[in-house]
Chains A and B, each alone.
Chain A
């Protein structure tokens, strides 16, 4: 029962272009969403989040968009940089709950 899905296992983008990572969820109770970045042999690092009362949140090069009707969110990185190469996880939670539900991850590779 995969409640949070990242259907693209990998994505390759040219340096300087936009990277778009997608995430779908099935549980309509989720009301808070996060994106994490993870390098090999390290723990996840928080990138950006969005509450269900918003449809967009921006932080520097990172923007997250939320489409509640479609149960879909996306992370935009622009411009993409070589240091952005990592695995990106989408996660969701229910307000008041103390656990995150993660997607399977998307491996992003930025090519010079």
Chain B
């Protein structure tokens, strides 16, 4: 769990500002996933990326949200013009395998808590 690094852990933004959340996967992992947890809800899949490619963005809101995972550096989840409803915990996970998911192959980071005021 500690191997997936997310920063910042806490971020406060005013409405209309941009939020950037970073995720460094575990060493040797080239697959990154972003999940969002709204208050009192479960985690919801947002996007799955491999290096330089977005594989599945079916859970991403159509506007204001984007994600990237460049060849070098961390994966970034970018939220433009934040609104109060974006306040949530954003979790990154990483895996080594490209085939399916198992409990022993996907690892979550400790999350980034975004508060929009």
Contacts and interface: CB of A to CB of B under 8 A. Distances in A.
Interface in A29-63: 32, 34, 36, 41-49
B87 to A, nearest CB: 15
Given A100-B45, A104-B41, A32 B108 contact: no
A91 B108 CA distance: 14
Contacts of A45: 1, 108
- Interface range on chain A (Cβ under 8 Å from partner): 20 to 34
A104 B42 contact: yes
Interface in B82-117: 91, 93, 98-104, 106-111, 113
Contacts of A102: 35, 42-44
B41 to A, nearest CB: 6
B40 interface: yes
Nearest to B111: A43
A58 to B, nearest CB: 14
A89 B42 CA distance: 7
A105 B100 CA distance: 23
B104 A43 contact: no
Given A43-B4, A45-B1, A98 B101 contact: yes
B22 interface: no
B100 A43 contact: no
A101 B104 CA distance: 17
A41 B110 contact: yes
B18 interface: no
B101 A100 contact: yes
A95 B100 contact: yes
Contact of B40 (A32, A36, A89, A104): A104
B109 A32 contact: no
A54 B20 CA distance: 42
A32 B33 contact: no
Interface of B: 1, 4, 31, 33, 35, 40-45, 48, 55-56, 59, 91, 93, 98-104, 106-111, 113
Interface of A: 4, 6, 9, 32, 34, 36, 41-49, 89, 91, 93, 95-105
